[in-house]
A and B are shown apart, each in its own frame.
Chain A
Amino acid sequence: GESVGLHLPTLSVQEGDNSIINCAYSNSASDYFIWYKQESGKGPQFIIDIRSNMDKRQGQRVTVLLNKTVKHLSLQIAATQPGDSAVYFCAENMGLTGGGNKLTFGTGTQLKVEL
């Protein structure tokens, strides 16, 4: 039969508008979170990170908000540009039983910027 792939949620925005991409994470013990951008044919590219002792962090045109109470992360992109079109992933850093940490990724959101 035909395989069924992940259905990526899609966010369509007009150029110049602000974008908000949301993510729910799974582990209340996660202490570090990252947003990645992935363009077609490329690896995930680091955008911004935030530690669990913060609830907001700003970068250039991007802001990440962390709500630990409801285990929710969001990425805000100001004045969205066509070059922002990509798949965006959130990732949470979790401790490993044997020591060290690993990043676990969400399923991603497709951002489409319309001219």
Chain B
Amino acid sequence: DAGVIQSPRHEVTEMGQEVTLRCKPISGHNSLFWYRQTMMRGLELLIYFNNNVPIDDSGMPEDRFSAKMPNASFSTLKIQPSEPRDSAVYFCASRVGTGNSPLHFGNGTRLTVT
């Protein structure tokens, strides 16, 4: 089992540029989550998909953020335009079902916006 795979591991970009983060969930998992981790706010849920459908995007900071899940094995989180305050580690996680089962996390993408 390869686990949740995220790319890139590190991204450095200039303010105003578009950033796309990618995630491949564990095969067979039908729920996918995007979290953001910062020193200021800890781990925050951004958006949650179930069976490729967004269920809750109330954590998405603003319209500059968007997420898609075109199929069961791939999701993207896009920031356009990026700002320095978006600098954080972004984690993708997946799990089986919608209830009492643990999330399995990828190793994250560390984003730095200068």
* Contact mask for chain A residues 19-50; partner B; CB cutoff 8 A; 1 contact, 0 none: 00000000000011010100001111110010
* Contact mask for chain A residues 41-65; partner B; CB cutoff 8 A; 1 contact, 0 none: 1111110010100000000000000
Given A5-B40, A89-B43, residue A43 in contact with residue B98 (CB < 8 A): no
Residues of chain A within 8 A of B18, CB atoms compared: none
Give the interface centre of A49, A105, A108 by most chain B CB atoms within 10 Å: A105
Residues of chain B within 8 A of A43, CB atoms compared: 4, 91, 93, 105-108
For the complex, count residues of A whose C-beta is within 8 A of B: 31
Question: Closest approach, in angstroms, between the C-beta of B69 and any C-beta of chain A?
Answer: 14
Whether B55 is near chain A, meaning CB under 8 Å from some CB there, is yes
Given A43-B105, A104-B45, residue A6 in contact with residue B33 (CB < 8 A): no
For the complex, count residues of B whose C-beta is within 8 A of A: 26
* Contact mask for chain A residues 87-104; partner B; CB cutoff 8 A; 1 contact, 0 none: 001010100101111111
Question: Closest approach, in angstroms, between the C-beta of B93 and any C-beta of chain A?
Answer: 8
Given contacts A96-B55, A102-B33, 12 further A-B contacts (CB under 8 A): A3-B39, A6-B39, A6-B42, A32-B100, A36-B105, A43-B4, A43-B107, A46-B104, A49-B102, A93-B100, A100-B98, A101-B98
